[in-house]
């Protein structure tokens, strides 16, 4: 069993739809949960960051973490064609030392928003 599981899609939705992306994980030590967006031929860019369980909202984006179920989600409201990208979940435990930490990524879900 991989540490982080993410359905690679692809996922295709009409413009304006609500998008739901999710990941499951097996490592109970994960405390920090992130969503990255990666456009084609670009590096990942941080979209959302949450610590432990709970919800966090930023504009059209909402991140949810349920540590009891080892399940995290990203919701995109009023999706736009510019949201078309690959969405990667990433997780980390406590600091690995020297003031830094390492990320374990899911495979990524490729999203297409159709005008």
Partner 1 sequence: EAGVAQSPRYKIIEKRQSVAFWCNPISGHATLYWYQQILGQGPKLLIQFQNNGVVDDSQLPKDRFSAERLKGVDSTLKIQPAKLEDSAVYLCASSLGTRNGYTFGSGTRLTVV
* Contact pick of 17, 32, 62, 73 for partner 1 (by CB under 8 A): 32
- Paired tokens of 84: 């078309």
Peptide bond into 32 cis (omega under 30): no
Nearest in space to 75 (alpha carbons), one of 1, 7, 18: 18
Judged by beta carbon, residue 17 or residue 104, the one nearer partner 1 is 104
Min dist. Cβ of residue 60 to partner 1 (A):
19
Under 8 Å CB-to-CB from 83, ≥6 apart: which residues? 19, 76, 111, 113
Q: Is 57 in the site for partner 1 (CB under 8 A)?
A: no
Please tell me whether residue 75 binds partner 1 under the rule CB under 8 A.
Answer: no
Residues of the shown chain interacting with partner 1 in the complex, contacts defined by CB under 8 A: 4, 6, 8, 32, 34, 36, 41-46, 49, 51, 88, 90, 92, 96-103, 105-108
């Amino acid at each position: 069993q991989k540490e982080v599981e993410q359905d690679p899609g692809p996922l295709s939705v009409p413009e304006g739809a609500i998008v739901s992306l999710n990941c499951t994980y097996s490592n109970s030590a994960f405390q920090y949960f992130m969503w990255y967006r990666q456009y084609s031929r670009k590096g990942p860019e941080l979209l959302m960051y949450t610590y432990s369980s709970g919800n966090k909202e930023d504009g059209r984006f909402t991140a949810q973490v349920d540590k009891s179920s080892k399940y995290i989600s990203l919701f995109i409201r009023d999706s736009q064609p510019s949201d078309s990208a690959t969405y990667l979940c990433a997780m980390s435990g406590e600091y690995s030392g020297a003031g830094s930490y390492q990320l374990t990524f899911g495979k990524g879900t490729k999203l297409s928003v159709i005008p």
